[in-house]
Amino acid sequence: QVQLVESGGGSVQAGGSLRLSCAASGATYCSGWFRQAPGKEREGVATIYSGPGRTYYADSVKGRFTISQDNAKNTVYLQMNSLQPEDTAMYYCAAAAGCVDSKRWLLREGSYGYWGQGTQVTVSS
């Protein structure tokens, strides 16, 4: 069983930046960041396939968000730049012990068995 703890959420004005962190209690093969806005379904934002360090992004955040990992610390980060009000959501970290190196698979909510409690990101205009 892997436990995930997110941190780094907060409130920021449009155009600002935030960095989210996700500390895992053990090693995982792939990790992802998802978000859920009120009244909307949870969507995959960014994911990293740990071994080769390959990353995938949703089109809505590509070029603005960067996912990275520190394997020594079992921590995954999400650097979010040029934030917009539509990025406002609860952000969740997810991890899986078995992974498929496919953007579609890695950005799918049902692919992950481990989830953090979420951290709120609010972007004001």
pLDDT of 29 reads 87
CA 34 to chain centre: 5
Residue 64, Cβ neighbours under 10 Å: how many? 15
Give the burial class of 67: count Cβ atoms within 10 A of its Cβ; 0-12 exposed, 13-18 middle, 19 or more buried.
buried
The mean pLDDT values, 10 residues at a time, for the chain of 125 residues are 94 98 91 96 95 92 96 95 98 94 94 96 97
Nearest to 103 by CA among 65, 56, 59: 56
pLDDT of 26 reads 87
Task: Find the helix or strand (DSSP H, E) in which 66 lies.
Answer: strand 65-70
